[in-house]
Amino acid sequence: MKVTKVCCQGCGADLQIDESIRYVTCNYCHVQLEVVHDASVTHTRQLDKIERTSDQLASNLKVIALQNDLERLDREWDHLRGSLLSRDKNGNVSEPSLTAAIIGGSLFAGSGLFCIAAGAVQGSGALAFFGLIPILISIYLYIFETSKASDYQDLQQRYTSYRRKLTKRINDERVG
């Protein structure tokens, strides 16, 4: 058995070790050491430091994976959102809005009812009949536009909460 003297990387103590042994524990500070034989010197390397570095690496990889998830989520939401936005004839885009659908629906319903009432007062069947058109539009707005708007709100909420969770996990991983 060839004994050699190395310095503990944990506490600096001189350690007498058997050269054939690769892993030792320092009796002074109880740190685990790897004995490294280079061409000219034998030295020690602290093992939990190596583990810490690989933990750090794993954590970095996790952050990268999470960031990729986040980017994909944003892309998918952008795509989905684009398909749900309403576009007017001037090319202006707007989110489907519950308030707008209800106000629009009420305005059409009001003018329809006004036409029907006016037609009844004047004894004009044609005027009363024309009143049906805004009524039909208001029914359409109430049923389809409001459900579109609430679907949109639903999706947006799910996207936002999932995004918040991902962002939190990325921050936790960075701190930890």
Site string for Zn ion, 38-77 (x = CB under 5 A): ----------------------------------------
Cβ of residue 37: shortest distance to Zn ion, in angstroms? 19
Stretch that binds Zn ion, among 1-9, 68-76, 111-119, 149-157 (CB under 5 A): 1-9
Cβ of residue 27: shortest distance to Zn ion, in angstroms? 8
Alpha-carbon distance 96 to 153, whole Å? 8
Region 8-27 residues binding Zn ion, contact defined as CB under 5 A: 8, 10-11, 13, 26
Cβ of residue 22: shortest distance to Zn ion, in angstroms? 17
Q: What is the DSSP string of the chain?
A: --EEEEE-TTT--EEEEETT--EEE-TTT--EEEEEE-SS-EEEEEHHHHHHHHHHHHHHHHHHHHHHHHHHHHHHHHHHHHHHSEE-TTS-EE---HHHHHHHHHHHHHHHHHHHHHHHHHT-HHHHHHTHHHHHHHHHIIIIIHHHHHHHHHHHHHHHHHHHHHHHHHHHHHH-
Q: Which is nearer to Zn ion, 13 or 85 (CB)?
A: 13
Region 114-133 residues binding Zn ion, contact defined as CB under 5 A: none
Bridge-partner residues for 35, per DSSP?
44
Q: Which is nearer to Zn ion, 50 or 143 (CB)?
A: 50
Candidate list 18, 22, 25, 28; residue touching Zn ion; CB under 5 A: 28
Cβ of residue 6: shortest distance to Zn ion, in angstroms? 10
Judged by CB under 5 A, the number of residues near Zn ion is 7
Q: Which of 91, 76, 47, 51 is nearest to 156 (CA)?
A: 76
Cβ of residue 77: shortest distance to Zn ion, in angstroms? 54
Residues forming contacts to Zn ion in the complex (CB under 5 A) are 8, 10-11, 13, 26, 28-29
